[in-house]
Amino acid sequence: MFIAECLRAEAGAVLRIAERLNEREGTHWRNALNCLANCEGHIVVGGMGKSGLIGLKISATFSSLGQPSHFVHPSEAIHGDLGRIRRGDVALLLSYSGSTEEVLNLAAILKSDGMPRIGISRSHQSALASLCDVHLAVGEIEEACPLNLAPTASTTAILAMGDALALALSRRRNFTADDFHKHHPGGMLGVGLRKITEALRFRVGDNLPVVHDQVTVREACRHTSGNRRAGAILVVDDRQRLAGIFTDGDLRRLVVGDPNAMDCRIGDVMTPRPQHLTVDDLVRDAVRLVRERRLDEIPVLDHDGKPVGLVDVQDLIAMKVVSE
């Protein structure tokens, strides 16, 4: 199937770059990473045509991982946009052929200004490589295009190389999930990285009572009745640590099986040691439990094992991180 052939061609282009990472090529990558790590300003990415579009995405990846970055169009640079490049920046210049005139002109200008330059092109013998402090070779690539003309496998390879540089830089700088959240406060990524305690609608001491494991089911239901009631009862032991959970579904099954069971001890009919989260967990951890365990209610505990709240699946649906 032709589509499969295209996908294999692009995947193979990326794989061959990884396979060429011997000591010699590895030195080039380490030098590039060191150059980026020393950047005191922005990483300025430049490229023409399809490489330029790839450069836009690479720049966005750097920014999302904590390294300020922006894209400069090589043609626009010589018509005023050089003012967007400042001392302390590092240039990352893309051209698979290594001979794109506009990119070479920009590299020459930046070289005369003494700005650090990293080039990515087909060969270390390219014109772009000669104008850069550090160069990464993509290697000879046969495009996925049957005519071997449309930039396809080569742009995929350059994109992967840019992503690898951005991720390696973020790892060197110990970029954490909390740091990522600061750069992605909106959308699904931002919501998933919020602390679960920020998303709790039912909280102990507010609108979520807890009961002792020695009380009867009837007493527990009476104690937790109200207009804004959670779909489960949290049960604690003598040390106020979570002992179990008793859900509305448990109640229905109990009463149907034995109408007199309302007077039994809740500790005998609860689900002991239920799946739970801690105050250090994130919304995405709750989503994972809901998807993997099919849970509708998840207790949230402090570091001593005491309940602080309850995650209701309806709250996750309202946040649009779980679908009905």
Q: Whose CA is closest to 284, among 200, 185, 195? A: 195
Find residue 216's DSSP bridge partners.
265
Cα separation of 156 and 17, whole Å?
Answer: 11
Please check the confidence at residue 224 and state whether its pLDDT lies above 80: no
Residue 139, CB half-sphere, CA atoms under 13 Å: how many?
17
Where residue 169 falls among pLDDT bands split at 50, 70, 90? very high
- 0.85 exceeded by pTM: no
Q: What gap in Å lies between CA 62 and CA 45, rounded to an integer?
A: 10
Q: Who's near 139: CB < 8 A, 6+ residues apart?
A: 16, 17, 20, 122, 123, 157
pLDDT over 90 (residue 290): no
280 pLDDT band, cuts 50/70/90, is very high
| Portion of the chain with pLDDT greater than 90, in percent | 65
pLDDT, residue 182, reads 65
pLDDT value at position 193? Answer: 72
Segment 22-45 shows an average pLDDT of 94
Tokens linked to 119 = 């080039």
pLDDT per residue as tens digits for the range 68-79? 999 999 999 988
Quote the pLDDT of residue 295.
86
User: What pLDDT sits at residue 323?
Assistant: 72
Chain centroid to CA 49: how far? 28
d(Cα 316, Cα 90) in Å, to the nearest integer? Answer: 42
Token couple for 295 = 């849970």
What pLDDT is attached to residue 23? Answer: 77
- Per-residue pLDDT for 6 more than 70? yes
For residue 17, name the pLDDT band (cuts at 50, 70, 90): very high
The answer for residues whose C-beta is within 8 angstroms of residue 109's C-beta and 6 or more apart is 77, 78, 82
Maximum CA extent, the chain: 89
pLDDT digits (tens, 9 = 90+) for 122-151: 999 999 999 999 999 999 999 998 888 899
Residue of 214, 206, 308, 303 lying closest to 265 (CA atoms): 214
C-alpha separations of 7 from 16, 51, 145, 208 in Å: 14, 19, 11, 53
Q: How far apart are CA 85 and CA 91, in angstroms?
A: 9
> What's the rounded mean pLDDT across residues 46-73?
95
Instruction: State pLDDT tens for residues 92-103.
Output: 999 999 999 999
pLDDT of residue 190: 67
Does 315 have pLDDT greater than 90?
no
Residue 227 pLDDT > 70, yes or no?
Answer: no
Report, as an integer, the average pLDDT of 284-300: 89
Instruction: Indicate if the pLDDT at residue 46 is higher than 70.
Output: yes
**Which stretch, 21-25, 126-130, 184-188, 222-226, has highest mean pLDDT?**
126-130
| Percentage with pLDDT > 70 across the chain | 95
pLDDT score, position 136? 97
Domains and CATH numbers, the chain: 2-175 (3.40.50.10490), 196-318 (3.10.580.10)
- Contact between 38 and 140 (Cβ < 8 Å): no
Higher pLDDT, 281 or 179: 281
Average pLDDT over residues 53-66: 95
What confidence score (pLDDT) does residue 61 get? 95
